[in-house]
Amino acid sequence: MFDALRLSVGTLTIMPSGSIAEIERRTAARAMIIAPLAVLPLAAAVGLVGWLGQAASLPPLAIGLLVVGGLALGTRALHLDGLADTVDGLGSGWTAERSLSVMRRGDVGPMGVAALIIILGLQAVSIGELIQGLPGAVLVVVAVCCSRAALSLICVRGVPAARTDGLGAAVAGSVPRWAAVGCWLVVLLVMAAAAEWSGRSPMSAALAVAAAAVGVGIVVYRCVRRLGGITGDVMGAGIEIAFTAMMAVLII
């Protein structure tokens, strides 16, 4: 379990976690399941930034941008890079091999740039709207953590890896289906409790979780059909889409 925590923390944040000699399937599964806990320190830090910004009477959009920037810094922007690469790969219109080659490149195409602008814009606007005091900041913290449950769905048993190397190959298909379901049920309960405490309807939290799960499911389905499976980039894209869906639904 300690190796799984180190793998999860090292993969999802900039916090040093040490090296792991070999990633076993059980360790990979546990790392994906406990991903929401691994980002708790980062989520708390950006939540504090947002609350302090609100206390300093910054405009809501400025608060949202500060939080989004903090998340990018705390994750080395790897999830955003994965989102851009996945969109470029899926939109390339060529074979699976060509799409995977596009995703390996270090540059970002116009479709990836457009996806980043839309996703980051929605996140910043939603976060600024939600943080209207400490309860709202806590709700954002909880949403950041819960959005990482996307990994348990992306890496659920039966979903193959698109490549034979890389992070995707190490963790693809490692999470038992019952564990993925259990992870999302916990996320549902935690989000509902956080929403109620912040003065919002628990039903809105339930819809936010459902929207995140559907969004991640669509990404996985599309990538399996188009690429033949998942990659590390797809994992990053799933996290960003899950978080954006949660944020957007919560402000409705």
pLDDT for 19: 67
The C-alpha atoms of residue 84 and residue 116 are separated, in whole angstroms, by 6
pLDDT for 211: 97
pLDDT for 219: 95
Question: Which residue, 58, 14, 54, 39, is CA-closest to 148?
Answer: 39
- Cα of 69 vs its chain's centroid, Å: 15
- Structure tokens given for 187: 């996320």
Q: Are 212 and 150 in contact (CB under 8 A)?
A: yes
Model confidence, pTM? 0.94
- Structure tokens given for 248: 């957007």
Using one digit for the tens of pLDDT, what is the confidence trace for 109-131?
A: 899 999 999 999 999 999 999 99
The values of phi and psi at residue 39, to 5°, are -100, 10
Q: Write out 33-98 in H/E/C secondary structure.
A: HCHHHHCHHHHHHHHHHHHHHHHCCCCHHHHHHHHHHHHHHHCCCHHHHHHHHHHHHHCCCCCHHH
Using one digit for the tens of pLDDT, what is the confidence trace for 149-195?
A: 999 999 999 999 998 887 778 888 899 999 999 999 999 999 999 99
Residues 134, 68, 77: CA angle, nearest 5 degrees? 140
Residues of the chain with pLDDT under 50: none
pLDDT for 93: 67
Domain chopping of the chain, boundaries: 2-250
The C-alpha atoms of residue 4 and residue 15 are separated, in whole angstroms, by 15
pLDDT for 21: 64
Burial of 117 (0-12, 13-18, 19+ CB in 10 A): exposed
Q: Using alpha carbons, list the distances in angstroms from residue 36 to 19, 97, 165.
A: 21, 32, 25
Question: Which residue, 145, 151, 249, 243, is CA-closest to 205?
Answer: 249
- Structure tokens given for 61: 């959009």
The C-alpha atoms of residue 88 and residue 113 are separated, in whole angstroms, by 9
